[in-house]
Chains A and B, each alone.
Chain A
Amino acid sequence: MLIRQRRDIAPSEITPQGVWHGRRTLLRAAVAAGLVGTAGRTVARNPSAPGLAGKPSPLSTMERATAYDLVTSYCNFYEFGTEKDDPSRHAPKLLRTRPWQVAVDGEVRRPRSFDIDELLKLAPLEERIYRLRCVEAWSAVVPWVGYPLAELIRRVEPTGNAKYVELTTLADAKQMPGLRSGVLDWPYVEGLRLDEAMHPLTLLTFGLYGEVLPNQNGAPLRIVVPWKYGFKSAKSLVRIRLVERQPVNSWQKSAPREYGFFSNVNPNVDHPRWSQATERRLGEDGLLSRRRPTQMFNGYGEQVASLYSGMDLKQFF
């Protein structure tokens, strides 16, 4: 598939890596000296987390990444509770990410189960810095580590009947206290059209910020689809099934009028309860900043708009 680059960044405008790292060092020093407010934007990562490096990718955005502690403490992962800080309070203690198997089956010639450690070595890891836009009208920029989902799907050889990919999150009441609530019909299920799943931007993700995914962010592996609302990016996957019929994703099942199957970021189609025209960037948009405009396909239109040519996106929201 052709990967179209955004043309608005000239190579001369890209900050050389040395300067980039220098800037980080400078910022850290400034933070240490108390010159820069550390209000919710600490640079430090979890010192005990195992590292997981990825090769820098040309598909990364140049925007400033959202602080590690915000990305790892402000999470929607209802299996651990509905408050934003529930996942970071519960998941690190409760979720066991080894041993971990992922079933990849359905309309494929080679259905099989993969061990997480095998998956980690299946293809070269890349660092992809993506914008993340939540349906709740906030956004972040996250340096993910992973490889295209297409790498995995290709290896199981989809049959001609495979039209969609269904993604299923773990649902284990022993590890996930949120399952006791009837907020959603567990397990959490998401779905992509096969061409969306095979798109080079769709990332099978194992890490963030150069380390193994923290449990609250969907360890040990999740999907990241940067041009769709965050809930499409299912976490803690146990099953990837290729299917012929369009899957019913959990949010669509719970409120079909409010959540569609495609859920592409679209400032022109409002959620019934709030406008999607604008958003707030975590950690950057403080008390006194205006909302920033939301971009069509979360700014990934050049790469993905062609997937939806001829479709009425107001109808297929």
Chain B
Amino acid sequence: MNGWRIPLLARLTSVVPPVLQPRRFAQLQAVLFIAALLPLARLFYLGSAGGLGANPVEFVSRSLGTWTLVALVVTLSITPLRLATGWAWPMRLRRMFGLFTFFYAVLHLGAYLWLDQWFDMAAIWKDVLKRPFITAGFAAMVLLVPLAVTSSNGWVRRLGGRNWQRLHRLVYAVAVLAVVHFWWQKAAKNDVGEPLVYAVVVGLLLGLRLLRWAQQRYGSIDSRANSSSIVSRRRIS
């Protein structure tokens, strides 16, 4: 891999090899799998200990929404991480985080449909049509479904790598819609500090991809650089 100028990254890439031994990888995956379940475990713990506060339904649905967004950001960080470090192994974790995004999104939607609305379909339908922030969240959820369904190796083969990849670019739209959903919800009280953080992070992650796409398409002074390198060294340092 290219010799990175960023000292910390250089040290990190020299310590962690680009390919992990199978046992090491399995251990790492298990730890991350359990870590990804902790937010849900916390809600169960708080629920049993009476720690969900004055407005438990609000607490649960907001917490699930936040963790959906976190899982989504982690998923979107995998490719930039691989490109920045040269590590191959993060790519093998991407599906897991993608599916965790879907998992928390389903729980978030479930909390709204069940705990909040009690499957009052008339009220829900009115919400989806009339309230822009719910429309955005609902659209993000709908777009996530085909991605979750086609996440298996079988579907990659059936669709062919190229088509599969094209389909899964929908996740960019999901990310934008998810941030918009959060932003519009908080904007009711002008309280956009937290959504702003997610907007910046998602903007950065999508911006890196756009930059890379532009470089690949129109070439750059640095066209000799490894095509897998997301941004040329010159740009980062």
A-side interface residues toward B, CB under 8 Å?
A: 37-40, 70, 73-74, 82, 84, 136, 138, 181-184, 254-255, 258, 270-275, 277, 280, 282-283, 285-288, 290-291
Residue of B nearest to A286 (CB): B56
B127 touches A282 (CB 8 A): no
Is B53 interfacial (CB 8 A cutoff)? yes
Docked CA distance A19–B8 (Å): 71
Residues of B within 8 A of A274 (CB): 127, 131, 188
A39 touches B190 (CB 8 A): no
B54 touches A82 (CB 8 A): no
B54 touches A283 (CB 8 A): yes
B54 touches A275 (CB 8 A): no
Is B50 interfacial (CB 8 A cutoff)? yes
A280 touches B57 (CB 8 A): yes
Residue of A nearest to B115 (CB): A287
State the main secondary structure of chain A at its contact with B: loop
Residue of B nearest to A258 (CB): B188
The 8 Å CB contact of A70, one of B47, B54, B58, B117, is B54
A273 touches B54 (CB 8 A): no
Given contacts A40-B52, A288-B115, A290-B118, 14 further A-B contacts (CB under 8 A): A37-B50, A38-B50, A40-B53, A70-B54, A74-B55, A82-B189, A138-B55, A255-B190, A270-B130, A271-B188, A273-B185, A275-B127, A287-B115, A291-B117
A287 touches B133 (CB 8 A): no
Residues of B within 8 A of A254 (CB): 190
B-side interface residues toward A, CB under 8 Å?
A: 47, 49-58, 60, 115-118, 123, 126-127, 130-133, 184-185, 188-191, 193
Docked CA distance A287–B132 (Å): 25
With contacts A273-B184, A275-B126, A275-B127 known, is A287 near B191, CB below 8 A?
Answer: no
How far apart are B31's CB and chain A's nearest CB, in angstroms? 30
Residue of B nearest to A76 (CB): B189
How far apart are A258's CB and chain B's nearest CB, in angstroms? 7
B126 touches A184 (CB 8 A): no
B193 touches A181 (CB 8 A): yes
How far apart are A48's CB and chain B's nearest CB, in angstroms? 23
Residues of A within 8 A of B57 (CB): 280, 285, 287
A-B pairs, top 6 by smallest CB distance, nearest first, are A39-B50, A74-B54, A282-B54, A70-B54, A82-B191, A183-B190
Docked CA distance A73–B55 (Å): 11
Residues of B within 8 A of A136 (CB): 189
Docked CA distance A147–B17 (Å): 73
Residues of A within 8 A of B51 (CB): 39-40
Residue of A nearest to B184 (CB): A273
Residue of B nearest to A71 (CB): B54
